Amino acid sequence: MNTVVYFWRIQRRYLLTALMFMAVNKFILKRNKGVGFIKLLGTGRGETFTPKDADLLRWGLLITVKDENIAGLDNSKVIKNWRKIAKSEYRVVLDPISAHGKWSGKEPFSIKAKDWSGKVAAVTRARIVWSKNFTFWSAVPPVTKSLHASEGLIAAIGIGEAPIGLQGTFSIWENGAALRQFAYKDSAHTAAIKATSLNNWYSEELFARFAVIQERGQLN
């Protein structure tokens, strides 16, 4: 199955409508053919991962779907309704290359190991232990500053399933080498990885890497 990600920037007067969509869209999408894993996402600047980072005018959807059902998803009532309230839409079709960890107790991505030299996307997601939110927030700024300054990064935003505790990032990179440089050699990021192991910040975490197969619109 492929992974499809949407982000919509909405008009302010439709905020309550967007919140309603967030509450009911998952149940509607489950009726579509070939649909697997579904996550409705709030977004943020990806700088602090605190509630003040939230962007109430941009909302997203991550969904896994069989290749032959992507067109049907794109023309579904759910997607059309978001387009009615949106000022802009970003849509990307992704082919999973690697994934480590779980999301809501599941391994959602069907990995298709391959050589890929084009753009890649990365999804990080973590369930933060409630009592450790404040220590986590204090450690995040150096990592996010380093991320946004990384060579080869095209765009990055924060994503979350809730204002607190269920947070991550979605980013697009020029190629896999640039992503690996940040993930494994950036000093701030490697320090954060060590701190995560030492402090046991997460009760669940996931890191996934994807080939960018088709892209439409601008993420930023």
The DSSP line for the chain is: -EEEEEEEEEPGGGHHHHHHHHHHHHHHHTTSTTEEEEEEEEEE-SSS-SGGGEEEEEEEEEEEE-GGGHHHHHTSHHHHHHHHHEEEEEEEEEEEEEEEE-BTTB-----------S-EEEEEEEEE-GGGHHHHHHHHHHHHHHHHT-TTEEEEEEEESSSSSEEEEEEEES-HHHHHHHHHH-HHHHHHHHHHHHHT-EEEEEEEEEEEEEEES---
Q: pTM above 0.75?
A: yes
Averaged pLDDT, 66-70: 90
pLDDT, tens digit, 9 for 90 and up, residues 129-170:
655 555 655 656 555 666 777 889 999 998 988 655 467 889
Q: Which CATH architecture has domain 2-216?
A: 2-Layer Sandwich (3.30)
pLDDT tens readout for residues 91-132: 999 999 999 999 999 999 988 767 899 999 999 988 876 555
